[in-house]
Chain A
């Protein structure tokens, strides 16, 4: 399947992030069109496009917008989830650096559609340059009359606030993000009420991923049917894929949904020279891993479901045969334990326990029964935690055990680093082997 540069089409022009650079390539044409449209017609166009949330959950965007009650007398808000923190996910950060105005134009159109007059970009705190870039891009848009009062004479007003977070993976969960944006501990909130009804400041709020919103202008400009012509029946449109890990040419690739991992690997120059694929994780660390057997599965929502995993962020991490699965899984559980917000028991205590057992296996001091216990503990978290972070923490292990049981069994007597020399996995030279 061919690559389809869309959001990335003009990244080879250094000023792609400016209004001027963007306007050279259709920039803000969609906004002009949108402001002539009835807001509900925009939502209709989004529904027709089949665009689904690009943050990982894949919820239909047009439908999400349509849940916002109208005429309720309350302020409405649009919040862009730019808290990209899922291990493996690294597409929104480049988008904000180089396609800043796509995002801003998308925000204006989305705000107009849901009748919001204040929109926010919640950017994870650890990326000062991205925060700078978005502040500057917003100033640029104000200076060009795309933000503020009476945008393009339409009578529509919009302000955008760029917000820097402070280091908490959980804030990628939309209700935790809203808590954080309200100046609270970034812990998730009860749903219902859903943000569309009671989100930011208990007002109707749409929370969408960066890529989702950045995709909006082209959809409005070219039509929902245009966008829907890409991708598969259930996974329409174009996706920004980011391929990382043990490949020769890691990077950003834009292609229709439904492309296969084998195709993407080809564009990325294949597995690093002299090595073989061991496993890859498509949707971020929170989804079950896949192996060579799944290289021809469609990278689509339904295609990934069919092979027992999820498309998630569509940012495959690739690992070759030098990598210990036990080490990788233990590392991810370290992460989930560190990032568990502490609110609910299963996630807070479960990650504490699971992580200890995995460390035992990693150091070769595990017990045989730990393998089964770990599966049970994961089951005790899955579907019982407050939010998806707990589910995510409970996901990597069972699949890894299924695919690489012997490595875990070895954890009862041999350290992972003895089975797999860590130095062999390192991608630069000069690290001594143990």
Chain B
């Protein structure tokens, strides 16, 4: 079965070329190319303001007027397509064009405040620059300039100085055409024309920051960067965004080793010219509250600063005590190189395959899927491919919230009429609505059922579903599954089956930037670097050779995944063998059950398990034999509240005899750690992420003076101390090692075929929980970003009208959603969605699902009028 085929190999139809002459030089371009683009190909820059290659032409600013032979008037190069044999003269060779442009520039400046010395754009301003090339040195205008009170907030994040605006409408076109958030508009008329919002509706768009970047003057600035720096004081470094798996190229600008701002870096294969506001504005976490030195737990149980050698020795000694029983858990912040270091550290230094990068709801089914179809497959289905898909079926992913550039591409394609979108989801989110797609409504947990129906094309399909089912069978059709589908057993298997039945390509989009790279790097039990199955001796041999160790020293059986590791820590070992870890029965979802039991046990029996054991001779007898499967943890980049059951995870951390934490700041795990190592953030190192396409997205070190250590370097030092060296000190060396290894070329494991369990039926006062995270929420990488936080989507609970009526609440009234662990109370928005389903945001103010409810989507929760839970 071909799951991640790419359409990019397909031959494109022949392009019709036209040949014109620009400033005496012949150039052949595809028919329909605008003069301004054709001129660019010759290196001739026609000045422009309103023109933007990704926005529809408006020819409003008139700055790009050029002379076309045979035309009585100069024409806008941004809006006229090149005609065959057309003779075009730009300002380089035409008096008409040059005069016209100078006239327009003079007009543009009469009402401009010329406040460049206090303007953020000064030094990188198209108006300033083009005034130099196409303007007069002195102004003839002595009249009254248009003025406005300054500035106004079009959102908490975006400020507008109206007197600087040249009415190019780039921002309003971006908001409307690209983001689909037409919350800024041109208001008024004539010389009073200005950008603005409606009363009470700010420009809260996830993509608002792009307007600052494309504003050709200093009219739009960000609250964050305003008056912070001058462009000529900044050093720019190409980087990759760490906030999601879209893989945006960014430009990070720092002044004297302090990051001042981040911009979208033009990359037409990935993020085009755009990025999201999280990627642009959330970087305070890089500097705030950083951990600066190693900490070790002293005899009183306090974490105290330690020297690096002391901490390394301490950690190595601790790990030696529990050798063979150490699990490795990593989180989404890791680069491919760091993840590789953990993967190698686990296998070589710890002799363990108990490793998992999925610090979230995950399943064995998902791991099998990843091993079979994603790990080590390289660049597969691409952005370009989804732009021309007869259907893109989304399951378990909300692109605008979870992978915003995927959203922008889908929307672009839908507007261009080159793709259609459908989603299996509980309701049509605002982002999804902007793609104009079809929602195939499904209660959480029922995804597999809908997928199966699309595959079987059963007679009972709705018209909408039937057309999706047909479209999936057309060449180029795509199924995109998000990581959330892992929480609903059988969903991934059903997606795999559907892809097989229809021939549609299937791709996986994780939410975090580091996941795909971690998978490729082998940070998952059973999967060695490059997607090599640990059970394949050939694969083991390749890895052993690359690592310079004996193949026999590599684990040959799959280890425990995150759920298994936590379970092993929480479950007292018994003589009778439990089902082998890593089989289908053993699943992440067990975490939830186990957690509830353990939490209950903890409540009943104050004090930790060790105390209990000490007091209970029977208990002691049980735990004496055999040895616990896991008693130590090495943890990097895991947020406790990202785990599906944070309380269970805390208990597990408490149970572990040894916890080694590698962190950038104290954020939770440290409370249970024996040693905490400070490690680098992205700006302090080079590295790479692998985006959802499988595209490697390298980035350079931004802060040239940074002296922090990478995860790989710390792990290498520990490994050296353990006398099991892993040589991961240097990211470049790791990259070479990864490249040298390449991808697995043997027989791939079999994909999972898990049957979905019968969905739970909520009783009266109950509902199935549906949830996903908002792009802008309480995620710790957004900590401290007050302006960004002010543009979050509001936290609301969603119910169908019937479900709301069932508990006697109406729109805007509070609803309390509760589990045994806790509750969430939010105002209700009646939503078109299946009855018996309740939706809340995953990690937003007042709605931290994991922390409050400790259940995963698809679980039955209680719902009641606010406060009556």
Direct contact between the two chains A and B in their complex (CB within 8 A): yes
Tell me if B110 and A384 are in contact (CB < 8 A): no
Does A385 make an interface contact (CB < 8 A)?
A: yes
Does B442 make an interface contact (CB < 8 A)?
A: no
**Known contacts A357-B143, A384-B100; A349/B189 CB under 8 A:** no
Give Cα distance in the complex from A316 to B65, angstroms: 35
Q: Which residues of B contact A343 (CB under 8 A)?
A: 58, 60, 167, 193
Does A342 make an interface contact (CB < 8 A)?
A: yes
Q: Which residues of A contact B606 (CB under 8 A)?
A: none
**In the assembled complex, how far is the CB of residue B663 from the closest CB belonging to chain A, in whole angstroms?**
53
Tell me if A345 and B63 are in contact (CB < 8 A): yes
Q: Which residues of A contact B128 (CB under 8 A)?
A: none
Does A338 make an interface contact (CB < 8 A)?
A: yes
A339, A383, A385: the one contacting B190 at CB < 8 Å is: A339
16 more contacts with CB within 8 A, not counting A339-B190, A344-B61, are A190-B58, A337-B190, A341-B193, A342-B186, A342-B190, A343-B60, A343-B167, A344-B60, A345-B104, A345-B167, A346-B62, A349-B108, A383-B73, A384-B62, A384-B65, A386-B62
Q: Residues of A with Cβ closer than 8 Å to B?
A: 168, 185, 190, 337-346, 348-353, 356-357, 373, 379-380, 383-386
Give the residue name and chain of the A residue nearest to B65 (CB).
A384
Tell me if A353 and B141 are in contact (CB < 8 A): yes
Give Cα distance in the complex from A342 to B57, angstroms: 16
Q: Which residues of A contact B62 (CB under 8 A)?
A: 344-346, 384-386
**In the assembled complex, how far is the CB of residue A356 from the closest CB belonging to chain B, in whole angstroms?**
4
Q: Which residues of A contact B192 (CB under 8 A)?
A: 342
Tell me if A383 and B193 are in contact (CB < 8 A): no
**In the assembled complex, how far is the CB of residue A234 from the closest CB belonging to chain B, in whole angstroms?**
20
Q: Residues of B with Cβ closer than 8 Å to A?
A: 57-63, 65, 72-74, 79, 100, 103-104, 106-108, 110-111, 140-141, 143-144, 146, 166-167, 186, 188-193
B143, B166, B190: the one contacting A338 at CB < 8 Å is: B190
**Known contacts A352-B111, A383-B72, A386-B62; A341/B191 CB under 8 A:** no
Tell me if B59 and A384 are in contact (CB < 8 A): no
Q: Which residues of B contact A338 (CB under 8 A)?
A: 190
Tell me if A345 and B61 are in contact (CB < 8 A): yes
Closest A-B pairs by Cβ, 4 of them: A342-B193, A380-B103, A349-B107, A356-B143
Q: Which residues of B contact A345 (CB under 8 A)?
A: 60-63, 104, 107-108, 166-167
**In the assembled complex, how far is the CB of residue B83 from the closest CB belonging to chain A, in whole angstroms?**
11
Give the residue name and chain of the A residue nearest to B185 (CB).
A185
Q: Which residues of B contact A384 (CB under 8 A)?
A: 62, 65, 73-74, 100, 103-104
**In the assembled complex, how far is the CB of residue A389 from the closest CB belonging to chain B, in whole angstroms?**
10
Q: Which residues of B contact A373 (CB under 8 A)?
A: 140
Give the residue name and chain of the B residue nearest to A389 (CB).
B190
Tell me if B189 and A340 are in contact (CB < 8 A): yes
Q: Which residues of B contact A342 (CB under 8 A)?
A: 167, 186, 188-193
**In the assembled complex, how far is the CB of residue A230 from the closest CB belonging to chain B, in whole angstroms?**
31
Tell me if A380 and B186 are in contact (CB < 8 A): no
Q: Which residues of A contact B166 (CB under 8 A)?
A: 345
Give the residue name and chain of the A residue nearest to B63 (CB).
A345
Q: Which residues of B contact A341 (CB under 8 A)?
A: 189-190, 193
Give the residue name and chain of the B residue nearest to A350 (CB).
B107
Tell me if A348 and B103 are in contact (CB < 8 A): no
Give Cα distance in the complex from A240 to B783, angstroms: 72
**Known contacts A349-B108, A352-B146, A356-B143; A386/B59 CB under 8 A:** yes
Interface of B, secondary structure class, is loop
> Could you show 12 A-B contacts with beta carbons less than 8 Å apart?
A190-B57, A342-B167, A342-B191, A345-B60, A345-B107, A346-B62, A348-B190, A348-B193, A349-B108, A350-B107, A351-B190, A384-B103
**Known contacts A343-B167, A380-B107, A384-B73; A348/B191 CB under 8 A:** yes
Tell me if B79 and A356 are in contact (CB < 8 A): no
Q: Which residues of B contact A352 (CB under 8 A)?
A: 110-111, 143, 146, 191
Give the residue name and chain of the B residue nearest to A360 (CB).
B143
**Known contacts A190-B57, A349-B111, A386-B59; A380/B188 CB under 8 A:** no
Interface of A, secondary structure class, is helix
Give Cα distance in the complex from A356 to B186, angstroms: 25
Tell me if B110 and A349 are in contact (CB < 8 A): yes
**In the assembled complex, how far is the CB of residue B104 from the closest CB belonging to chain A, in whole angstroms?**
5
Q: Which residues of B contact A351 (CB under 8 A)?
A: 190-191
Q: Which residues of A contact B188 (CB under 8 A)?
A: 342
A190, A337, A346, A385: the one contacting B191 at CB < 8 Å is: A337
Q: Which residues of A contact B59 (CB under 8 A)?
A: 190, 344, 386
Q: Which residues of A contact B73 (CB under 8 A)?
A: 383-384
Q: Which residues of A contact B143 (CB under 8 A)?
A: 352-353, 356-357
Q: Which residues of B contact A386 (CB under 8 A)?
A: 59-60, 62
Give Cα distance in the complex from A343 to B172, angstroms: 13
A344, A348, A383: the one contacting B74 at CB < 8 Å is: A383
**In the assembled complex, how far is the CB of residue A197 from the closest CB belonging to chain B, in whole angstroms?**
14
Give Cα distance in the complex from A342 to B111, angstroms: 13
Q: Which residues of A contact B104 (CB under 8 A)?
A: 345-346, 380, 384
Give the residue name and chain of the A residue nearest to B186 (CB).
A185
Q: Which residues of B contact A349 (CB under 8 A)?
A: 107-108, 110-111, 191
Give Cα distance in the complex from A386 to B191, angstroms: 15
**In the assembled complex, how far is the CB of residue A87 from the closest CB belonging to chain B, in whole angstroms?**
17
Most B-side CB within 10 Å, residue of A345, A351, A352, A383: A345
Q: Which residues of A contact B186 (CB under 8 A)?
A: 185, 342
Give Cα distance in the complex from A339 to B193, angstroms: 11
Give Cα distance in the complex from A340 to B167, angstroms: 13
Q: Which residues of B contact A356 (CB under 8 A)?
A: 143-144
Give Cα distance in the complex from A103 to B717, angstroms: 90
Give the residue name and chain of the B residue nearest to A380 (CB).
B103
Tell me if B107 and A346 are in contact (CB < 8 A): yes
Most A-side CB within 10 Å, residue of B57, B74, B104: B104
**In the assembled complex, how far is the CB of residue A366 from the closest CB belonging to chain B, in whole angstroms?**
12
Give Cα distance in the complex from A345 to B48, angstroms: 12
**In the assembled complex, how far is the CB of residue B446 from the closest CB belonging to chain A, in whole angstroms?**
39
Most A-side CB within 10 Å, residue of B72, B103, B190: B190
Give Cα distance in the complex from A349 to B106, angstroms: 9
Give the residue name and chain of the B residue nearest to A168 (CB).
B189
Tell me if B103 and A346 are in contact (CB < 8 A): yes
Tell me if B167 and A353 are in contact (CB < 8 A): no
Give Cα distance in the complex from A341 to B169, angstroms: 13
Q: Which residues of B contact A337 (CB under 8 A)?
A: 190-191
Give the residue name and chain of the B residue nearest to A189 (CB).
B58
**In the assembled complex, how far is the CB of residue B585 from the closest CB belonging to chain A, in whole angstroms?**
58
Give Cα distance in the complex from A350 to B61, angstroms: 12
Q: Which residues of A contact B65 (CB under 8 A)?
A: 384
Give Cα distance in the complex from A380 to B108, angstroms: 12
Give the residue name and chain of the A residue nearest to B140 (CB).
A373
Most B-side CB within 10 Å, residue of A357, A373, A385, A386: A386
Give the residue name and chain of the A residue nearest to B191 (CB).
A352
Give Cα distance in the complex from A356 to B143, angstroms: 7
Give Cα distance in the complex from A337 to B191, angstroms: 8
**In the assembled complex, how far is the CB of residue B44 from the closest CB belonging to chain A, in whole angstroms?**
20
Give Cα distance in the complex from A340 to B189, angstroms: 7
Give Cα distance in the complex from A340 to B57, angstroms: 20
**In the assembled complex, how far is the CB of residue A392 from the closest CB belonging to chain B, in whole angstroms?**
14
Give Cα distance in the complex from A42 to B297, angstroms: 96
**Known contacts A168-B189, A348-B167; A353/B60 CB under 8 A:** no
Give Cα distance in the complex from A186 to B140, angstroms: 32
Give Cα distance in the complex from A343 to B141, angstroms: 21
Q: Which residues of A contact B146 (CB under 8 A)?
A: 352
Give the residue name and chain of the A residue nearest to B81 (CB).
A192
**In the assembled complex, how far is the CB of residue A361 from the closest CB belonging to chain B, in whole angstroms?**
13
Give the residue name and chain of the A residue nearest to B102 (CB).
A380
Q: Which residues of A contact B108 (CB under 8 A)?
A: 345, 349
Give the residue name and chain of the A residue nearest to B99 (CB).
A380
Q: Which residues of A contact B190 (CB under 8 A)?
A: 337-342, 348, 351
Give Cα distance in the complex from A198 to B188, angstroms: 27
**Known contacts A353-B143, A384-B74, A384-B103; A190/B193 CB under 8 A:** no
**In the assembled complex, how far is the CB of residue B95 from the closest CB belonging to chain A, in whole angstroms?**
13
Give Cα distance in the complex from A396 to B393, angstroms: 60
